Amino acid sequence: MSNRSNLNQRRLLRTSEAAEYLRLSAWQIRQLTANGKLPVIQYEDRGKFFFDQRDLDAFIDRNRRAEPL
């Protein structure tokens, strides 16, 4: 089974996995999170970040355009 299909089976993804899912860099994911444009799940104060796949899909939908900028 490919890594990509494995990502599609889990709801919560780590930063690197969310970056792969959105085809962005981990740095871009962290920037989107810091700017409040991408929700993050954090179980403990200063713990690891997780991203809900539904939030990633919503991000894709919000940034869909008929024509490039």
User: Domains of the chain: which residue ranges?
Assistant: 3-62
Task: Name the more confident of 57 and 8.
Answer: 57
CATH code reported for the domain at 3-62: 1.10.1660.10
Structure tokens at 32: 């989107």
Taking only the tens place, the pLDDT of each residue in 28-64 is 999 999 999 999 999 888 788 899 999 999 999 999 9
CA angle 62, 65, 69 (to 5 degrees): 115
Alpha carbons 40 and 52: distance in angstroms, whole number: 7
Q: Which of 14, 53, 16, 60 is nearest to 37 (CA)?
A: 60
- Residue-level pLDDT at 7: 59
Average pLDDT over residues 5-9: 63
pLDDT surpasses 70 at 6: no
What predicted TM-score, i.e. pTM, was given to this entire model? 0.79
Task: Give whole-number Cα distances, 38 to 2, 20, 24, in Å.
Answer: 26, 15, 13
